[in-house]
Amino acid sequence: MISSIEKLLPSYRRDGVALLRGAIPEKVTRMLDSIYTKATLNRHGSSYPNMDGEGPLVRVFSNRPIPVRQGTRLLTDDEKALGITGKDIPNYIIPGKNSEEVKKIAIKCRSDKERDRMIHSLQKRFGPRVMTTEQYDQVFGQENMVNNKHFVEYVNEVYYFKENNNFIDNFSANKFNLFQSCNDIRGTVLSSSPEIIPFSIAAHFSGCLSMRLWCENFFTKLPMSNAYPLHCMLPFIGLSNNRGETETRGCTIWVLLDDVSRESGGVCVIKNSHAQMKDKFALIENILAEAHPALSFEFDLWYREYIKQDNEKNGTPPTVHYTDLKKGDVLIVNNATLYGISANPSSRPWKALQYHLVPDGSIFAGYRSSWVPRHLLKDAQIGDYLVDEEKFPVVFNAV
């Protein structure tokens, strides 16, 4: 086992991702599934962390209509570029409606500017889709959309408009930080000896002597749920090191509790994207000044603007799909690596556990990310070390 881990270390550092096949035995995965399901039924944990009704995650993930003033403003901008009339504006205020009309408008694009504006508008209304490099080239790589059959196929098949294909708006069902109030998880899962979750391997890959659990998620990919777009975790965590740089040594552990095939929405990872994203978000100021903030409809723009151009220079497509993940597999993803999850067009859900780890000694950088419930950081001040064992426990310590 040790030799196989050492073989994976160079590829993890090169690609920003490592796959441990069959790392969790069948009996243990059943136990984990049972413990987390029971905790969820007993109302432990929280749903999407930013639940105050004002945050971007609430607006994106709920089915509430966009405020009329916001929808009107967006469509007024579109009207200038696409020539739609004022009478069309009220029809687009509720996300997911009139997709056929939006599709007709979209294929009228004649220039890069109009194309990008329309794509951005579609992403805002209907949710983005994890795409391969080839799909990006097909959709965004041609100026004239009228004769681009790939674009029409993209709108029809990849976006999964809910009224045509019965896809729901939700990307997944999540329960965060169940360990905060569930002693079974804290004692049986996080503090077990020998360890159940490979925290020591994640720390070894990350080059850390000690790691804390920043956020835990019991993830369920629902049947007929939309895609979760390409993203990296750095802007969601918001921690720095003692040099004032963004803390980039953390990682996310995925523990698969079910088999995951392409047909049920596989995990997509952009290999070696962590190098570019570390440069992009090297300083906390870079995150705060980011032109494309960490909103779900903006995620894929990170790939287009920060990864795709470098990839074209190198000449090698970076996309890799883990489409054949099995129960008990463990996927370790660097917090700077771009990854996402495809839509699930099947009738079968699948579940996984996510553990977002950060180095012990990380420092609160002064902004409260949307990935952690606000009450966990309500008393945090700029420069505070992450030392609260109840909220952010140490899960591995080699010292």
Residues, the chain, total? 399
pLDDT tens figures, 102-134: 444 444 444 556 556 655 665 555 444 434 445
- Average confidence score pLDDT of the chain: 68
Instruction: Please answer whether residues 332 and 16 qualify as being in contact, where contact means their C-beta atoms are separated by less than 8 angstroms.
Output: no
Instruction: Out of 78-82, 244-248, 309-313, 378-382, pick the least confident.
Output: 78-82
Instruction: Please answer whether residues 361 and 394 qualify as being in contact, where contact means their C-beta atoms are separated by less than 8 angstroms.
Output: no
3-state secondary structure of 310: helix
pLDDT tens figures, 298-329: 445 556 665 666 656 665 555 556 667 899 99
Q: Write the DSSP symbol of residue 155.
A: I
- Looking at residue 181, its pLDDT comes to 86
- Looking at residue 122, its pLDDT comes to 56
Q: Which domains does the chain have, with CATH numbers?
A: 2-49+170-397 (2.60.120.620), 64-165 (no CATH)
User: With 50 as the cut, is the pLDDT of residue 345 above it?
Assistant: yes
Q: How much is the average pLDDT of 33-43?
A: 88
- Looking at residue 213, its pLDDT comes to 95
Rg, C-alpha atoms of the chain: 21
User: With 60 as the cut, is the pLDDT of residue 182 above it?
Assistant: yes
DSSP string, 18-39: EEETT-S-HHHHHHHHHHHHHH
- Looking at residue 262, its pLDDT comes to 67
- Looking at residue 373, its pLDDT comes to 63
pLDDT tens figures, 263-298: 677 787 878 888 888 887 777 777 666 654 444 444
Specify whether the backbone of 241 is left (phi greater than 0), alpha (psi in -120 to 50) or beta.
beta
CA distance 112 to 83: 16
User: With 90 as the cut, is the pLDDT of residue 212 above it?
Assistant: yes
User: With 50 as the cut, is the pLDDT of residue 140 above it?
Assistant: no
CA distance 56 to 78: 21
Instruction: Please answer whether residues 298 and 228 qualify as being in contact, where contact means their C-beta atoms are separated by less than 8 angstroms.
Output: no
For the ranges 49-53, 253-257, 345-349, 370-374, the maximum mean pLDDT occurs at 253-257
CA distance 77 to 57: 23
Tokens of 327: 């129960």
Q: How much is the average pLDDT of 39-64?
A: 47
Q: How much is the average pLDDT of 33-37?
A: 93
334's CB contacts (< 8 A; 6+ apart) are 12, 16, 17, 206, 248, 250, 251, 274
Percent of the chain with pLDDT over 70: 53
- Looking at residue 372, its pLDDT comes to 67
CA distance 29 to 16: 25
User: With 80 as the cut, is the pLDDT of residue 39 above it?
Assistant: yes
- Looking at residue 27, its pLDDT comes to 95
CA distance 146 to 104: 10
Q: How much is the average pLDDT of 175-199?
A: 90
Tokens of 191: 């503090």
